[in-house]
Amino acid sequence: MSIKPNGRLWQAVKEKGLTQRDFAKLVGEHFTRVNMVINGRINLTEKQQQKYAAALNMRRERLFD
């Protein structure tokens, strides 16, 4: 079973004018981990999703549900 990349998250990051590296710094995580999340290789807990959404000033539900 393949996991679809998180297109909504990546689109939001790009709309804010951020690179994946910029976003990784913003959420306090390593670039590699953020890249794996965006590419669907790592799933986030609800708490982690909230942290990512807050960093983008967005609602978690808009990015992850």
Report CA-CA distances (Å) from 8 to 20, 25, 32, 40: 14, 19, 18, 11
- On whether the CB atoms of residues 6 and 38 are closer than 8 A, the answer is yes
- 0.85 exceeded by pTM: yes
Question: At 2, is the pLDDT very low, low, confident or very high (cuts 50, 70, 90)?
Answer: very low
Dist. CA 32–CA 24, nearest whole Å = 8
The CATH number that domain 7-64 falls under is 1.10.260.40
Dist. CA 53–CA 28, nearest whole Å = 13
Dist. CA 57–CA 51, nearest whole Å = 10
First to last CA, the chain: 19
Over residues 3-62, the pLDDT tens digits come to: 456 889 999 999 999 999 999 999 999 999 999 999 999 999 999 999 999 999 999 999
